[in-house]
Amino acid sequence: MVARIYRPAKTAMQSGKGKTHQWVLDYEPESPRSIEPLMGYTSSADMKQQIRLRFPTKEEAIAYARRNGIAYRVEEAQERRIPKVAYSDNFRYDRYMPWTH
């Protein structure tokens, strides 16, 4: 069973960076989910899918995986790029699209 170590991205429903500073260790699914025919619930016999461990740093997550003999894969976090834009850029004479009413 392979574990995935990553830092979660912010969700589309939040404007801040809440819950994105910790590193997460999740297990990859061993078996696919199945649909119960009577009730329509999705279920799986793989109990490790329910485990989600959080660590303050990537090194602590890797150390935990090595200490417990867990095969792991690290996905590096991509930093958010925010372009610098000034309000006065809306009124520049050399804009790509001219500003009009």
Put residue 88 in one of left, alpha, beta given phi > 0 → left and psi -120 to 50 → alpha.
alpha
Tell me which H or E stretch contains 27.
strand 23-27
% of the chain residues with pLDDT over 90: 35
Full set of structural domains in the chain with CATH = 2-78 (3.30.160.190)
Mean pLDDT of the 15-34 span = 85
pTM over 0.75: no
pLDDT digits (tens, 9 = 90+) for 51-99: 899 999 999 999 999 999 999 999 998 877 888 888 887 777 777 776 6
Average pLDDT value for the chain: 86
Alpha carbon distance, N-terminus to C-terminus of the chain: 59
